[in-house]
Structure 1
Amino acid sequence: MRLDFLKNNQKKTRHEHYQGVIDNVISGVLFGGKVGKRVYLSPTFIGGPRDLRNRYLDSMALVQEFGRLDLFLTMTCYLNWLEVKERLKRGEEAQNRPDLLATC
């Protein structure tokens, strides 16, 4: 959704950023660090610098605890698998049962 927003609002966003850059160049700012304002993303913003740093630190802690990995395997569960649906109670949704999805 974020990428769609940027795609559909290019004229508006480009104009706003371009005007800010022009204003700063005219006023004599030479370094980009003094242009605009700093925005901090929460660590829950997936793909942000803080999230990536947290993921890196978590993985390094695992390496310290267990040593270097020989094999790293990732598996994704499909929420509509019969094995998943059979274990759900009435009215439950699979995405609300991480304990169930982690064992399939």
Structure 2
Amino acid sequence: MIKCERLYFIQREQKVLRCETFENLRNIKNKGNKDSSKVGQRVILPSSFTGGARYMMQNYLDAMSLYKWFGYPDFFITFTCNPNWPEVKRFLKDTTLKAEDRPDILCRLFIIKLDALIKDLKEKTLLVKVQAVSITNFS
């Protein structure tokens, strides 16, 4: 419902805006068509709209600029949620619910475990800390 409200707000506030490449608009103007109000899409989803094309492109460009500045990463760590975690089973043991019926519990537990993993990686120095060009091993 929140997503629908955000989409409606964006649509309502952008009645006069159009989305088209500058080159296409210039070509239409050069052909003598002075009315470009029917060219392109009427609604533009901003990069702040989570999940939109501009949002994805902005995140991609941000990641690429980080790679350009710091270099490509040496590690790619994937962390996923497991509905069979003992904490989930313990929470749901006295109910007829399944783990997928309580995504709020799974999300909370995932965040707790992710924060613990990040804390372990930072404080227990499981990885080597890299600063600019020099490498310092804290173990």
- Shorter-chain TM-score bucket reads 0.3 to 0.5
If each structure's helix is expressed as a fraction of its own residues, which one has the higher value?
1
If each structure's strand is expressed as a fraction of its own residues, which one has the higher value?
2
TM-score normalised over the length of structure 1: 0.41
Bigger RCO of structures 1 and 2 (CA < 8 A, at least 6 apart): 2
TM-score normalised over the length of structure 2: 0.34
Query: Which structure has the greater CA radius of gyration?
Result: 2
